[in-house]
Structure 1
Amino acid sequence: MTYKNFPMVPRVIFGRGSFNQLNEILAPKRLNMNAPFIFLVDDVFKNNVWLTSRISLSYDDKIVFISTKEEPKTSQVDELVEDIILMSKERPSGIIGIGGGALLDLAKAVSIMITNEGEAKDYQGWDLVKNPAIYHVGIPTISGTGAEVSRTTVLTGPDRKLGINSDYTPFDQVILDSELTKDVPKNQWFYTGMDCYIHCIESLTGTYLNAFSESYGEMALDLCKQIFLEDNLSTIDAQEKLMMASWHGGMSIAYSQVGVAHAMSYGLSYLLGIKHGVGNCIVFDHLEEFYPEGVEVFKQMKIKHNITLPQGICSSLSDKEFDIMIDVALSLEPLWENAIGNNWKKTITREKLRDLYQKM
């Protein structure tokens, strides 16, 4: 048997206010005066001096504000890489992603594509990247996706939604400062937190489960239950715990895989542009057949936090549109194999998936 030899994030700093150490972390990594650091920052922080004033720009360093209204696309990665190459005298010293999962995925993808030829869509899949990425740093400002720790960068391409899964994808450095999550709107906090919760349920009930993924998954699941079901946590405590749940949830799927909710939400996202966290929740709400206990607890969390999920999003789709979503979902074979086993094709038919989508 051959075991996977996974890379992990080699350096991580954790603690409220640790974002203030960014400049001293970056200084030794600067290649020279003409090799800038490029900061990719969620544009919700565009007028947020509290955050942006703490980023020290030297020489040709640039902040690029990026809208996350849509999920990250391979074409967006290609445009960013082109812009960065045009604006820099030399190859950048590093890419720093500051934001939620979308921004972190973009930062990972851009750092890979600066050193690899072709277009980002050519690398969607498993282990297709040939050259190491440039130095890249991830700084999450919302917790739950696990993008800060994972070896994938999830992108919507011309043909499918699929990650660039490679050993060169993980960040070289991560800064976990829970203070950066203090202004996250409640719905977004819930949806992204549920992404972590669903990671854990899919990992812990999957056929790929092993002691490595189980230990991380159980820790993250316990933290999620504390955060979303208990009443006695302080705000700061809840922010810190969710940041660690996200980290451990991401680690739990590093050595296993996600499952039905993710496979089907990729279809929703590809066709309808539905954000990843919301899509996972919409799908998971209908998956009692696959995850009975997990869905029951999810519904309790939904009621406790007064969350109303979008309804009827598939009600007016054509046969062709259903087929597009089903094709995307079925293409994610490792997810189905983890969820159901080697013979998953016997139970997961096109009719079965259409029936599920029609409930959403």
Structure 2
Amino acid sequence: MKFRNFKMVSFVVYGRGSFNQLDEILAPHRKGDAPMIFLVDHFFENGAPTGDGKSLISRIPLRGKDKIIFADVTYEPKTTQVDKLAKQLKDEFGTVSGVIGIGGGSTLDLAKAVSLMMNNPGSSADYQGWDLVKVPGVYKAGIPTLSGTGAEVSRTTVLTGPTRKLGMNSDFTPFDQIVLDPELTANAPVNQRFYTGMDCYIHCIESLEGTYLNEFSKSYGEKALELCREVFVNKDKWDAECDDKLMMASYAGGMSIAYSQVGVAHAVSYGLSYLLGTKHGIGNCIVMNHLEPYYPEGVKEFKKMVEKNNIDIPVGICKGLTDEQFDTMINVSLGMKPLWENALGKDWEKIMTREKLRALYEKL
């Protein structure tokens, strides 16, 4: 048996106010006058404050030719968006000292991908798959302002390409540095915070009930699940402690799936995202609402959390789609083979037929 030898994030700093150390953290990685590029979620473009009341933008430690680029993450990152950003930076600067992603999972994924494409030829679509990236990117750091996706620790960057939605999965993809400052998540919109937190809860359920489960994944997954329950089940009012716990749930949840896999909810939501542009967190919630046959206890608890937190899960999003559109989603979803195998075992193709998957999509 061959064991996976996976790459983890090299450096981690955690704590309220740790964002203030960013200048000091980046200093050793500056190369001459090559700038640091701060790729920031467009949510912060109009001066949205962080936990200390100051705007996030005002706290970014700009030096020399450093540049802030606001990332439009209305939709999840596309390979065309990655290629355009990388070209823009190459044309303007030649090279850069690093790419710093500040935002939710989509912004972090975008930062990882742009870093890689600064040093790898062709299009990012050429690297959608496993271990296709052969050259390290420029230095990259990730600073989450939402908690739940695990993008800060994963070895993938999920992109929608010309023909599929698939990550650039490689040992060169993880961040070199992450800064985990719960203060930065304090002003997240309530619905968005829930959907992203549920991404963590759902991928823990999928990991802990999957055929790939091992003690490494189990130890992280169980802790992440415990933290999610403390926040979304036990707490009656959102407070700073919730931000602290959910940030660590995201980290632990991401570590859990690093050595296992996600499952049915993620595999099905990839199809929604590819065809309809459904954001990842909300897509997982829409699908999880209908997965009693696969995760009965998890779905029961999920619905309890939805009710307790007064969240509306969209329904009817697949209504009126054509046969061709259903086929597109089915093809994207069934292409996620490791996810289906983790969820249903090696004979998954006999269990999840195209007809059964079509029926599931029709319920959404």
TM-score, normalised with respect to structure 1? 0.98
The answer as to 2:177 corresponding to 1:178 is no
Cα distance in 2 for partners of 1:47, 1:275 equals: 22
Give the gaps of 5 or more residues in structure 2. 48-53
> Does the CA-based 8 Å contact 1:125-1:163 persist in structure 2?
yes
The answer as to 2:46 corresponding to 1:47 is yes
- 1:1-360 to structure 2, matched below 5 A, reads 1-33=1-33, 35-48=34-47, 50-88=55-93, 90-231=94-235, 235-360=239-364
Which runs of structure 1 show a deviation greater than 6 angstroms over 4 or more consecutive aligned residues? Answer: none
Letter of the aligned partner of 1:38 in structure 2?
A: I
For the residue of structure 2 that corresponds to 1:308, the secondary structure is coil
Letter of the aligned partner of 1:3 in structure 2?
A: F
Cα distance, 1:44 vs. partner? 1.2
Cα distance in 1 for partners of 2:218, 2:116 equals: 30
For the residue of structure 2 that corresponds to 1:137, the secondary structure is strand
Cα distance in 2 for partners of 1:23, 1:182 equals: 22
Cα distance, 1:232 vs. partner? 5.8
For the residue of structure 2 that corresponds to 1:50, the secondary structure is coil
- Post-superposition Cα deviations, 1:100-127, rounded to whole Å, max 9, x if no partner, equal 0000000000011111111000000000
Cα distance, 1:56 vs. partner? 2.1
**Which residue matches 2:51?**
none
* 13-22 or 233-242, which deviates more: 233-242
Cα distance in 1 for partners of 2:286, 2:9 equals: 31
For the residue of structure 2 that corresponds to 1:289, the secondary structure is coil
- Post-superposition Cα deviations, 1:235-261, rounded to whole Å, max 9, x if no partner, equal 111000000000000000000000000
For the residue of structure 1 that corresponds to 2:59, the secondary structure is coil
Cα distance in 2 for partners of 1:235, 1:9 equals: 28
- Post-superposition Cα deviations, 1:267-300, rounded to whole Å, max 9, x if no partner, equal 0000000000000000011000000000000000
Cα distance, 1:63 vs. partner? 0.3
Letter of the aligned partner of 2:157 in structure 1?
A: T
For the residue of structure 2 that corresponds to 1:96, the secondary structure is strand
For the residue of structure 2 that corresponds to 1:346, the secondary structure is helix
Cα distance in 2 for partners of 1:115, 1:71 equals: 23
> Does the CA-based 8 Å contact 1:40-1:97 persist in structure 2?
yes
Cα distance in 2 for partners of 1:325, 1:234 equals: 36
- Post-superposition Cα deviations, 1:120-165, rounded to whole Å, max 9, x if no partner, equal 0000000000101111000000000000000000000010101000
* 302-311 or 265-274, which deviates more: 302-311
Cα distance in 1 for partners of 2:237, 2:70 equals: 34
> Does the CA-based 8 Å contact 1:75-1:157 persist in structure 2?
yes
Cα distance in 1 for partners of 2:119, 2:193 equals: 34
Letter of the aligned partner of 1:302 in structure 2?
A: V
> Does the CA-based 8 Å contact 1:263-1:332 persist in structure 2?
yes
CA-atom RMSD in angstroms: 0.9
Aligned length: 358
Cα distance, 1:47 vs. partner? 2.4
Cα distance, 1:233 vs. partner? 6.7
Cα distance in 2 for partners of 1:231, 1:161 equals: 36
Give the gaps of 5 or more residues in structure 1. none
- Post-superposition Cα deviations, 1:8-45, rounded to whole Å, max 9, x if no partner, equal 11101001111010001111110101x11000001111
Cα distance, 1:53 vs. partner? 1.1
Letter of the aligned partner of 2:260 in structure 1?
A: S
Q: Percent identity?
A: 64
Cα distance in 2 for partners of 1:296, 1:281 equals: 13
> Does the CA-based 8 Å contact 1:139-1:148 persist in structure 2?
yes
Cα distance in 2 for partners of 1:81, 1:133 equals: 11
TM-score, normalised with respect to structure 2? 0.97
Cα distance, 1:87 vs. partner? 1.5
- Post-superposition Cα deviations, 1:53-97, rounded to whole Å, max 9, x if no partner, equal 111222211000111111100000000000011111x41110000
Letter of the aligned partner of 2:22 in structure 1?
A: L
Cα distance in 2 for partners of 1:311, 1:158 equals: 27
Cα distance in 1 for partners of 2:115, 2:46 equals: 26
> Does the CA-based 8 Å contact 1:270-1:325 persist in structure 2?
yes
For the residue of structure 2 that corresponds to 1:53, the secondary structure is helix
For the residue of structure 1 that corresponds to 2:55, the secondary structure is helix
Cα distance in 2 for partners of 1:233, 1:9 equals: 33
Cα distance in 2 for partners of 1:39, 1:61 equals: 8
> Does the CA-based 8 Å contact 1:227-1:233 persist in structure 2?
no
Letter of the aligned partner of 1:43 in structure 2?
A: H
